[in-house]
Structure 1
Amino acid sequence: MNSCTERTIGIGLAVVLSCSLWLGGCGSGNESPVDDRGLSIRVTEPVQRDFDKIKEDGVLRMITRYSSNTYFLHQGIEWGFEYELVSRFAREHDLALEVVITGINESPYDLLNSGKGDLIAANYAATPERQRYVDFTRPYNLVDQVLVYSSELDNPPQTIEELAQSGLSVTVRSNSSYFHRMQDLKEEGVDIDVNLVPNEKDTESLLFDVSQGKYEVTVADDNIFQAAFSYMDGLVQGPTIAEKDTIAWAVRNNAPELKKELNNYLEGHFQLREDKEPKRSLFLQVLRKRYFEGGRRLANYYSPNPSIGESDGISPYDDLIKSVADSAGINWLMVTSVVAQETKFNPRAKSWAGAMGLMQVMPQYSEVSDTTLLYNEEINVREGVRILKRHLDHYSYMDSTNQWSFSLAAYNVGEGHLADARRLAIDQNKNPNEWEPVADALLKLMHRSYYRKARHGFCRGIETVRYVREVKNRYEIYRNVLTMRQLELNQSSPGVLGFF
């Protein structure tokens, strides 16, 4: 629980699994049949949303997959190569970052062109098929496509031609660049049998299935294969079927300013030398080492199989938070998001203003006489939940969305500054019980013409507005990822009840 002048932790995040999964379809744009090259496209006319609108909203929406090389959760904290690379761009432009995860039978291109997201960052190759519907930034990586065999195969084919004659099926997604390459090979006279799987299967999941002998052959980018090979047994690398695919971010083809800003950013991290070899920034080298060369440590962060993994929950404190939150009658995932926002689950954290422990409880608001006990995880969570519950009760006459927004704001900035903002909203003939006008008033309280008339003076309202957005967005991450994993488990293990 921070004072008004404290800085919040991290970048705002939200995860939306997909329009089709949650809303029954995107429902915007023009309808069109499935593309003849395997892309399922419904929204062909992009909405008008360029960088000026993104800056105005203060939010950049990143479309991606849930995987170890794109975006995933580890102990309640967000990780992933694509996530970290986009996050840095968002921070440099003072933007909150929302993460939109594609769901079952969902097209990332539909999400992009319908305005549900602003860029696709998912290790995508800039193929001609995709460029029919979206534009691409400059590259930030070059990769080779390689065949990957199950180690259970005896004498796997050593050439593409041998594979075509072997009768083996290559398992890929229909919307992948690997499928496009299979079609190109067929046009070149090399007809390989292809087994198409649902598009929600990412490359890492398919590699895992191949390692378990479920499929005989798949295709992967060489960097993804090397990362998986370091912690998956049962994989054998085959011949290269495509060289130096350019990996880039996809944007709407009517968003030239966003593309320009992204290109300027990527140029500082990835360039091609005269010999066509890549030159990477230190930051990009660190990310590559972390996510593609990290060895078996990566398996501690992410498993493509929902039945295995080090942790069956969101954070290291799930049982404690569930118990305390359930006793108080409030949502445990929202409390978990508060803890992640405040301290990233560090029980020894202490702010410059004196806030202590997991939930950054201010001693003056605590009922604990011995303040050193606020470093005790259970005591701290109970005190934090008690304070949060008090705010929720105070705003209980509001609908649940506004109730949580106001309660989180009060937890962050205090009731005094929030009351100033509500009075200012009234002065401007706006509803003081709606979060949006009050959030706008909080931002105004950073300017002297407004805060000099306020009872509690200056408030760095931008931090409180971000705090509320970030906590609520992270809650959506937790809720949707739990649901996604449950769906995956039900698909892989029919009849199994519950994952967490």
Structure 2
Amino acid sequence: MLVFALLAACSEPKPSQLDTIKQQGVLKILTRNTPSTYYEGADGPAGMEYELTSLFAEYLGVKLEIDSNHDINDIYSSLSTTNAHIAAAGLEVSLDKLNDFFYAPSYLSVQPIFIYNRKTSKPKTITDLIGKQIAVIAGSEQAALMRALQVEHPKLSWKETNELEATDLIRMINEQELDIALVNSNDLDINQAYFPRVSEAFSVGSPIQLAWALPRTDDTSLYHAAKAFFDEIKANGTLSQITDRYYGHKEELNYVGVQLFLRHVRQRLPKYEKHFRAAAEKYDLDWRLLAAVGYQESHWRPKAVSPTGVRGIMMLTLNTAGDMKVSNRLDAEQSIFGGARYLAQLIRRMPEQIIEPDRTWMALASYNVGYGHLEDARKITEHLEKDPNKWIDVKEHLPLLQKRNWYRFTKHGFARGEEPVTYVQNIRQYYDVLSWYDSRLQQLTQNQVTEENLSEKVNFNIIPPIL
């Protein structure tokens, strides 16, 4: 009897990796601490990889455990030698690694680009890069691309390191500590506003797919779960919504606009910051969001007056000012508190099925174009079989309110639908810059760098020309 029991136990199949993860209740992720992957924001963990892996852990019904601060080479090595389950770190799908790793479905397509400082001459071809101080991240597809380029351009030389991230290279270009860097387009997109002197020179190579990496073993249960997860979030629009959250508002501000904004942050904002903070606290808002609205409305000018009669820092109409108990719209403190109260009311007014951050984006659109016009746009969005509760879909259809074939069927008629789209996008950008400025990069954005020159500390590996 005992022998039979032992034989039965031995014949039981070994639990799959996915079953083990569910039994243990933990999904272990390797990632990098960068703005495009995972970082600690003002309100807790953030980053596109963090949001995606959090959703995947919820999809599996387990908790998320994150191990960050790795470089690319270390991530692949650790994924092979530790009990980590997935590397979600902005990794580029590499054909050279397919024998050792699975890649989940791609969640973002990016383009390798050379970047330079706007104060210098813009390089237009690979030949223009010869003799320049160029840097890339070691272990990246950019490093492999540089080696391929060197075959055709033997005089090409560069340096690479695993001690920095793309954000560091972008900062060094901004401060003219490097001439050129090769990075992915999404890294410049997410950092552009913080380093306005950096610009794209030209693209090179083919688009690269970013994806999660998993160890290649006979047990494919976790890989297939990840594949099913991405199939689902692509189909239901969640992936597009997350992508829009991080990259959907990056193209609105140009170089001049960012420079002007940063100058006003230094010169004007300090006069009114205490009012923004106090009003935001009273009405349960983020003060930086409220300040971003004030900048979009008036560039923080308390005496601002528009041709349509709206006035003050928050550019309140006479009717709205009355409803918000503002007796003097040109008084900075009254205007800020009135604007905060109005925005908080709009956020609460949004239908309960609209969740954050879409509630805030739509409330901001209402602040600009009016709640009735927003509702018209939501109805058009629903009519066209898109989701009226997602900003990414509503902003696509707001411009239809300025086309007679559409607005004549709406309750509130014509509206300049393009304006609230740009309005919200700009505020999101201003908010991002203020968040960065308020925390880690205040000295950098004021051009008062007190750190030692990072390029003197970093261990770069020099790749010489082919002789």
Normalising by structure 1, we get a TM-score of 0.45
- Specify which structure has the higher proportion of helix: 2
Normalising by structure 2, we get a TM-score of 0.48
Question: Which structure has the higher relative contact order (CA within 8 Å, separation 6+)?
Answer: 1
